[in-house]
Structure 1
Amino acid sequence: MKVYFETYGCALNKGDTYIMMTLLKQRNHEIVNNPNEADVIVLNTCDVRLETGERMKSRIKELRKFGKKLVVAGCFSGAEPGVVKTLAPEASIIGPQALTKIIDAVEGEKIFSINAERSEITPRVFEGKIAIIPIADGCAGDCSFCITKLARRTLRSYSMRSIVEAVKEAVKNGAVEVELTGQDAAAYGLDLGGKIKLSDLLNEVLSIEGDFMIRIGMMTPEQFARDIDGILEAMRNPKLFKFLHLPVQSGDDNVLKLMNRKYTVDEYKELVKEARSKIPNINITTDIIIGHPGEDENAFENTLELMKEIKFERVHLAMYSIRPNTRSALMKQVPDSVKKERMRIAYKLYEDISLSIHKEYLNKRTKVITTEEGKKGSIIGRTLNYIPVILNGVEIGKWYDVEIIDYSFFDLRGTVV
């Protein structure tokens, strides 16, 4: 069969697509890049925000029009399967923790499977110079605002052996960046009796021969704290990007409590302080939700103060949106007009802080590894602490000594020395 994939959402979702592609290729199916050429269309969905969910609904309707066998997979399927059934009664529905069912969906009759199953299949399909390899699925948290928890209900860590084999395969195929991803990468091993931690996995992967860099995916602060010494020790290895994605979500303790986050603002600050003391020039990236229920003016100001104090290199800002069947949806909501104005203020602050950080790189030299194509023929590289650098006249997949000649709040611009 010829199968077309369309993927939305986070790195974990992209990794799930590569797993499904791997399973199908092992059975000699062909992956195509055009839905017109396909016998089967697979839509791997996201449902993290209201507008994302609406986009998924529209895309399901649009893809039905091709008249091909349709499979709707991913978080929208797992969290809102009834909506998918209504929009496309003939479609197979696969939750994000039932990836192996893709074989039945492609080869057989319509199926419905959203229950979690344990699988050891990690990707053997990679595109470009960046390999995305899921290490765990699901998380140990239970955040009030999160619909993803309804789709990925169970924490399931992939075996160290299968991950190591996937990394070896990716490096053999030319990957120079390997992203070890999950909903919460630092929760790795909790479901395996707690005997194995993320740092153990990192040390195994870092022992693999080859010229490549490892990027650790998003981690919750409480799980990072559980393995902080081991993770920071592994980060001393030159093959590991000096990069931490630690979502704080709010700078106010009351809001964090309403969100059911498992740390205080002061505890978060201590984690950042320790990381910066042990790994100089480490890049701290975070996620912040603006306008979550319970966020009054004082709470919002506390979030702005945290941004100013920590000076995040990158902030993924999101305006809170109601997600069905979550506890936050039942709370008293912040008016949309207030959320939009706060979002504007927070985004301006983020831009100013990031600009000031990037300005420090101007006229300095740094090592950069090129990983992907950019716009207008440019190439995107990454510094050792994972800041993007826009280059021209270079090859993908190589190291360069670069002088920074310009910057924006989002990236650096460089020229090869």
Structure 2
Amino acid sequence: MTDTLAREAAPETNPAPKRLFIKTYGCQMNVYDSERMADVLRPLGYAQTETVDEADFVILNTCHIREKAAEKVYSELGKMRELKDSKGGAMTIAVAGCVAQAEGEEIMRRQPAVDLVVGPQAYHQLPELLTRTARARGERIGADFAAVDKFDALSADGAAARGVDGPTAFLTVQEGCDKFCTFCVVPYTRGAEWSRPVADILAEARGLAEKGVREVTLLGQNVNAYDGLDGAGAASTLARLSYALAEIPGIQRIRYTTSHPNDMSDELIQAHRDVPALMPYLHLPVQSGSDRILRLMNRKHGRTKYLELIDRIREARPDMAMSGDFIVGFPGETDRDFEDTLDLVRKVNYASAFSFMYSPRPGTPAATMAAQVPAEVARERLQVLQALLLEQQIAFNASQKGRTLDVLFQKKGRHGRQAIGRSPYLQSVHVDDADHLIGRLVPVEIVSGQQNSLTGRLATMADVPQRAAV
């Protein structure tokens, strides 16, 4: 009894961690940013939770690309306000990401329950802003474009502070955009193009490899425009960075996204030929197959240049699978323009692609263009395009039957000892009796291809062709 009372009276030496809930919208860059926000808050005692009701601190990491993105955030904030009220105000709410950058002051005005607004280049300031808020003083908004400040602040700990979940990880190498496509808000929410120094990227990659990461995906709004400084103070390139990353023990696969056709250099194309770690899967958005629409979009390339680029890439790497982005119903798009897009899709033959109906973004030039396409017309065109893209995707997946591909197993499947991994072409691959191989790159014989995945069985080394070790 005495011991029990003593334990109850003693101060708590290991208090329960505070709970952090992050809801991530949009692109892979936001996924990376959410991971790093969790990292910078971990030293403050915040452990992540998947349940918002448990959270002491809620972050909505927002995206401004999709239609009505801001209104969706405000709707979510209304729910968060009710949850905060139910806790007697004992919950901190932050809005991060591109909506925060674009509408910081408006967010604070419209939703007083929000405690912090943090733009994409300022999330390293979260501990300081959180402390100031807790003391009920100081600035509650951190929204600027100083990407160098963010990465300088994060590079001190490098990958040591990063939480790693599985054998794959995102690694931001470049931020911002100088292209100013007329439909896009990224230059206004992420700022000008800026590239991290080579040494910082390699240090982070080495740290990830030491934690068991075998595949890194390099991120940037225009990732193939990368020109970070090397050790001699000279501008590097994505190709040279890829060669250096491939030398890091443990790093077996390298991917990157998103690319712009105008920044796809001969050097980078040749790197795909010469660096086995560079995966034969390339996301290269074109947006439209019509030269007239591409000019209106300010894409600064035409369909001929794009198709010639695809030919050069496939000449260097014959097994390259292509992915892309398409917008239908852009202002002024005619039936002929849309047919040009379908023709380009047939010529390229995509393994996968993303396609969207155009929707205006306030502040972008396209939002005020004449000849806005009626929604019902754009919707019908989108259905036709998506049917063609799906047909190509199914055919590509089916063509893998009988091949032996290296698969990086990432997690357990739903059935028994099943494991799920990724092929070199980013396809999801399901294999039975393979859960003991999670985290490893293993040869798999593909037995069937479905709409969204492949099914395989473990192969013997004798089954693996020379080129399959990618």
Same fold (TM over 0.5): yes
Deviation readout 1:57-98 (Å, 9 max, x if unpaired): 222222222211111000111123344224323421111122
1:316 alignment partner AA? F
SS at match of 2:339: helix
Q: Structure 2 residue aligned with 1:321, among 335, 359, 364?
A: 359
CA distance in 2, matches of 1:26, 1:154: 31
- Number of residue pairs the alignment of both structures matches: 415
Deviation readout 1:100-128 (Å, 9 max, x if unpaired): 22122322225112111223226522222
SS at match of 2:38: helix
- Match for residue 96 of structure 1? 120
Deviation at 1:45, TM superposition (A): 0.8
Q: Structure 2 residue aligned with 1:368, among 404, 407, 417?
A: 407
Deviation at 1:11, TM superposition (A): 0.9
Whether 2:79 is the aligned partner of 1:62: answer yes
Q: Structure 2 residue aligned with 1:310, among 328, 331, 348?
A: 348
- Match for residue 452 of structure 2? 410
Deviation readout 1:302-336 (Å, 9 max, x if unpaired): 00000000001111111111111111110131101
SS at match of 1:80: helix
Deviation at 1:33, TM superposition (A): 3.4
TM-score using structure 2 length: 0.83
Whether 2:27 is the aligned partner of 1:4: answer no
- Match for residue 440 of structure 2? 398
2:167 alignment partner AA? K
Change (3 A) 1:3 1:107: farther
CA distance in 1, matches of 2:404, 2:177: 39
Seq. identity, % = 29
- Match for residue 177 of structure 1? 215
1:31 alignment partner AA? Q
Q: Which shows bigger deviation, 22-31 or 12-21?
A: 22-31
CA distance in 2, matches of 1:301, 1:194: 45
Deviation at 1:135, TM superposition (A): 0.8
CA distance in 2, matches of 1:383, 1:271: 24
Kindly name which structure, 1 or 2, has the bigger radius of gyration based on alpha carbons: 2
2:270 alignment partner AA? L
CA distance in 2, matches of 1:219, 1:415: 33
Deviation at 1:407, TM superposition (A): 1.6
Q: Structure 2 residue aligned with 1:220, among 247, 260, 263?
A: 260
Q: How does 1:9-158 map to 2 (within 5 A)?
A: 9-67=26-84, 68-91=91-114, 92-109=116-133, 111-117=140-146, 118=148, 119-120=150-151, 121=154, 124-158=162-196
- Match for residue 4 of structure 2? none
5+ long unaligned stretches in structure 1: none
Deviation at 1:300, TM superposition (A): 0.3
SS at match of 2:250: coil
- Match for residue 225 of structure 2? 187
CA distance in 2, matches of 1:191, 1:73: 28
CA distance in 1, matches of 2:430, 2:280: 19
| Partners of 1:131 and 1:177 within 8 A in 2 | yes
Q: Which has the higher contact order (CA 8 A, sep 6+)?
A: 1
SS at match of 1:108: helix
| Partners of 2:81 and 2:113 within 8 A in 1 | no
Q: How does 1:193-232 map to 2 (within 5 A)?
A: 195-210=235-250, 212-224=252-264, 227-232=265-270
Q: Which shows bigger deviation, 1-10 or 315-324?
A: 1-10
Whether 2:421 is the aligned partner of 1:385: answer no
CA distance in 1, matches of 2:288, 2:413: 32
1:209 alignment partner AA? P
